[in-house]
C-alpha cells in the first residue's frame, strides 16, 4: 500500500469522514454509522442524543462527568464499558473511580435503545455517543463517532491503575503512549479539564506542602493560591470541589480557556500546571492557547481515545443491562 493511501486511510479512520472499518492494534473494527439498519429504521445516535439533550437541560455538568468516565473506562482494560459494571470489587469501586459520575445517564440511554431493539447497541458505544453529544452541548465540536464496540465481561478494581494528579509530564506521555496516543493527543485530551471539578484533597499538597517543602507550589499564581487556601483550608474534613478551568466565564464550556489559564499559572492539578511548563508540551499548550484549532483537534483526539483496545466482532458481548454481564438464560 502506498504511503499516501495508508495515510489517507488512517486519517479517514481517525476523522471518521467516511463509513468504513478501522482496525486498531487490537484487531477491533470500528465503523462510522455501524448501527445504520441494525435497529429497524431507527437512528440510534439520534435516540441517545435525545436522552443527552434532556439530561443536559437539567444538569449541564454532564459533559465533565462523561468525559472523565470515558477516560477511566478506556485506560483500564480498553474501551469496553467495564467501568459500568456493578459489584463488590469491580472497577467502579477503586478509589480513583469513586468520584466518577454519570452512570444513570448511560442507564437511561440504554433503557430506551433496549426497548426499541434489544441486544443490539453496546454500552461502550453508548458512552462514546453520549460523551460526544454532551461535549457538543457544552460548546465543543460535534465530532463524528465510530461504533461497533462490544462490552467486556471483566471488571476488577485491582486492574485500575490510572495516572495520579502528581504524575510528571514525561510519565504521563509514557502512559498515553502505551495506549497508542502520542503527546499531542495527550495535550488535547487533558484539555477536557476545561470543564468539571477537582476536589481539594487532590491538590491540597500544592497549597501547603508541595513535595514536602512545607511551602506551596511556587509555580502557582498567588491570587489563585489565596483563593484555593480559603476554599480548601488545611486539615478541613470537607473535600470541596473546585472548577478545573478557573475562568468563571468558561468553566462549563468545552473550549481552549484551560490552556490560557495554565499559561497564567492557574492550573489546579499538578499535571495541569506542568503541562504548560514542561518543555515536552509547553509549545503545544501555547499554540492551542493562542487559537490553534482546539475544537477539531480535541474531537480527533477523542475519536482516537475511543478506539483504544476495543472489543469487536465476536469478542465480548452486548450487555442487556450496562451494570451487569449477561448471564446464561435458564431453560
Ligand atoms: C494524566 C492524565 C490525567 C490525570 C492525572 C487526571 C486527573 C484528574 C483528577 C485528579 C480529577 C479530579 C477528580 C475529583 O476530584 O473527583 C480529574 C477530573 C476530571 N478529568 Fe482528568 N485526569 C487526566 C486526564 C484526563 C483525560 C484524558 C480526560 C478526558 C478525556 C479527563 C477528564 C476529566 C474531567 C472532565 C474531570 C472533571 C470530572 C467532574 O467534574 O466530575 N481527565 N482528572
| pLDDT for the residue 329 | 54
Across 109-119, b (16+ Cβ under 10 Å) vs e yields bbeebbeeeee
Instruction: Assess if residue 138 is contained within a domain.
Output: yes
3-class DSSP state of 203: coil
| pLDDT for the residue 5 | 34
- Same domain for 158 and 177, yes or no, is no
To test the ligand 1 pocket, which listed residue (73, 104, 160, 193) has its Cβ within 8 A of the most ligand atoms?
193
- Same domain for 115 and 194, yes or no, is no
- Cell numbers representing residue 99 in the block: 468520584
Kindly give the interhelix angle for 103-116 and 123-137, rounded to the nearest 10 degrees.
Answer: 120
Place of cell 498567588: 222
Tell me the C-alpha to C-alpha distance, in Å, between residue 311 and each of 78, 119, 169, 203, 246: 8, 16, 29, 35, 38
- Cell numbers representing residue 39 in the block: 435497529
- Same domain for 154 and 92, yes or no, is yes
Which residues form the catalytic set?
Answer: 72
Name the residue with the closest Cα to ligand 1, atom 25. Answer: 190
Instruction: Assess if residue 112 is contained within a domain.
Output: yes
CA nearest neighbour of 195 among 244, 242, 147: 244
Instruction: Assess if residue 310 is contained within a domain.
Output: no
- Same domain for 77 and 154, yes or no, is yes
Contact 325, 319 (CB under 8 A): yes
- Looking at the DSSP bridge assignments, the partners of residue 242 are 198
Rounded CA-CA distance 33/20 in Å is: 9
Name the residue with the closest Cα to ligand 1, atom 23. Answer: 190
Rounded CA-CA distance 55/131 in Å is: 12
Helix H or strand E encompassing 288: helix 282-290
Rounded CA-CA distance 34/246 in Å is: 39
- Same domain for 19 and 140, yes or no, is yes
Rounded CA-CA distance 118/182 in Å is: 37
Name the residue with the closest Cα to ligand 1, atom 7. Answer: 165
Domain range holding 246? Answer: 169-302
Cα 193 to averaged position of ligand 1 atoms, centre (Å): 6
Name the residue with the closest Cα to ligand 1, atom 39. Answer: 196
Instruction: Assess if residue 42 is contained within a domain.
Output: yes
Give the pocket of ligand 1 (CB within 6 Å).
64-65, 67-68, 70-71, 99, 101, 163-165, 167, 172, 189-190, 192-193, 195-199, 202, 244, 269, 271
Instruction: Assess if residue 317 is contained within a domain.
Output: no
| pLDDT for the residue 14 | 39
To test the ligand 1 pocket, which listed residue (62, 71, 92, 245) has its Cβ within 8 A of the most ligand atoms?
71
- Same domain for 158 and 249, yes or no, is no
- Cell numbers representing residue 2 in the block: 502506498
Query: Of the residues 162, 184, 205, which one is the last residue of a structural domain?
Result: 162
- Same domain for 235 and 204, yes or no, is yes
Instruction: Assess if residue 264 is contained within a domain.
Output: yes
| pLDDT for the residue 150 | 97
Q: Which atom of ligand 1 is nearest to the CA of 163?
A: 5
Question: CATH number of the domain that 67 lies in?
Answer: 1.10.520.10
Instruction: Assess if residue 76 is contained within a domain.
Output: yes
Instruction: Assess if residue 325 is contained within a domain.
Output: no
| pLDDT for the residue 256 | 98
Question: CATH number of the domain that 184 lies in?
Answer: 1.10.420.10
Task: From first to last of the 331 residues of the chain, give the pLDDT tens digit.
Answer: 334 333 333 333 333 333 333 334 343 589 999 999 999 999 999 999 999 999 999 999 999 999 999 999 999 999 999 999 999 999 999 999 999 999 999 999 999 999 999 999 999 999 999 999 999 999 999 999 999 999 999 999 999 999 999 999 999 999 999 999 999 999 999 999 999 999 999 999 999 999 999 999 999 999 999 999 999 999 899 999 999 999 999 999 999 999 999 999 999 999 999 999 999 999 999 999 999 899 999 999 999 999 999 998 899 999 999 999 998 555 4
How many independent structural domains does the chain possess?
A: 2
To test the ligand 1 pocket, which listed residue (172, 182, 198, 303) has its Cβ within 8 A of the most ligand atoms?
198
Q: Where are the beta strands (DSSP E) in 4-154?
A: 22-23, 29-32, 146-147
Cα 218 to averaged position of ligand 1 atoms, centre (Å): 23
- Same domain for 62 and 147, yes or no, is yes
CA nearest neighbour of 53 among 136, 123, 142, 146: 136
Name the residue with the closest Cα to ligand 1, atom 15. Answer: 198
Cα 251 to averaged position of ligand 1 atoms, centre (Å): 14
Q: Where are the beta strands (DSSP E) in the chain?
A: 22-23, 29-32, 146-147, 197-199, 241-243
- Same domain for 52 and 83, yes or no, is yes
Tell me the C-alpha to C-alpha distance, in Å, between residue 291 and each of 59, 135, 284, 288: 29, 19, 11, 5
- Same domain for 251 and 286, yes or no, is yes
Tell me the C-alpha to C-alpha distance, in Å, between residue 148 and each of 13, 37, 84, 124: 13, 13, 18, 9
Name the residue with the closest Cα to ligand 1, atom 3. Answer: 163
**pTM for this model (two decimals):** 0.92
Helix H or strand E encompassing 293: none
Q: Which atom of ligand 1 is nearest to the CA of 100?
A: 41
- Same domain for 96 and 140, yes or no, is yes
Query: Of the residues 162, 177, 201, which one is the last residue of a structural domain?
Result: 162
- Looking at the DSSP bridge assignments, the partners of residue 150 are 311
Q: Which atom of ligand 1 is nearest to the CA of 195?
A: 35
Cα 272 to averaged position of ligand 1 atoms, centre (Å): 10
Rounded CA-CA distance 302/71 in Å is: 9
- Same domain for 126 and 199, yes or no, is no
Amino acid at each position: 500500500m502506498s504511503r499516501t493511501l495508508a495515510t489517507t486511510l488512517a486519517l479517514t479512520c481517525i476523522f471518521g469522514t467516511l463509513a468504513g472499518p478501522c482496525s486498531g492494534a487490537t484487531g477491533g473494527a470500528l465503523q462510522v454509522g455501524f448501527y445504520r439498519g441494525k435497529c429497524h429504521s431507527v437512528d440510534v445516535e439520534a435516540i441517545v442524543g435525545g436522552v443527552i439533550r434532556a439530561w443536559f437541560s437539567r444538569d449541564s455538568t454532564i459533559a465533565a462527568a462523561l468525559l472523565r468516565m470515558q477516560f477511566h473506562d478506556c485506560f483500564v482494560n480498553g474501551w469496553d464499558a467495564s467501568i459500568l459494571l456493578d459489584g463488590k470489587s469491580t472497577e467502579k469501586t477503586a478509589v480513583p473511580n469513586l468520584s466518577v459520575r454519570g452512570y444513570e445517564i448511560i442507564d437511561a440511554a440504554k433503557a430506551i435503545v433496549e426497548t426499541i431493539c434489544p441486544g443490539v447497541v453496546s454500552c461502550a458505544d453508548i458512552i462514546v455517543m453520549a460523551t460526544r453529544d454532551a461535549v457538543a452541548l457544552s460548546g465543543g465540536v460535534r465530532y463524528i463517532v465510530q461504533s461497533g464496540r462490544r462490552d467486556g465481561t471483566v471488571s476488577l478494581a485491582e486492574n485500575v491503575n490510572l495516572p495520579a494528579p502528581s504524575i510528571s509530564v514525561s510519565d504521563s506521555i509514557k502512559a498515553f503512549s502505551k495506549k497508542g496516543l502520542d503527546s499531542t493527543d495527550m495535550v488535547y485530551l487533558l484539555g477536557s479539564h476545561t470543564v468539571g471539578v477537582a476536589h481539594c484533597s487532590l491538590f491540597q499538597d500544592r497549597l501547603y506542602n508541595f513535595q514536602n517543602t512545607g511551602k506551596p507550589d511556587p509555580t502557582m499564581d498567588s491570587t489563585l493560591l489565596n483563593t484555593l487556601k480559603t476554599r480548601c483550608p488545611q486539615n478541613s474534613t470537607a473535600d470541596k470541589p473546585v472548577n478545573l478551568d478557573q475562568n468563571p466565564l468558561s468553566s462549563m464550556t468545552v473550549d481552549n480557556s484551560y490552556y490560557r489559564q495554565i499559561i497564567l499559572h492557574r492550573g489546579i492539578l499538578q499535571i495541569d500546571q506542568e503541562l504548560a511548563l514542561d518543555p515536552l508540551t509547553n509549545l503545544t499548550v501555547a499554540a492551542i492557547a493562542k487559537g490553534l484549532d482546539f475544537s477539531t483537534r480535541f474531537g480527533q483526539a477523542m475519536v482516537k481515545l475511543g478506539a483504544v483496545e476495543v472489543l469487536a466482532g465476536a469478542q465480548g458481548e452486548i450487555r442487556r443491562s450496562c451494570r451487569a454481564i449477561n448471564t446464561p438464560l435458564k431453560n
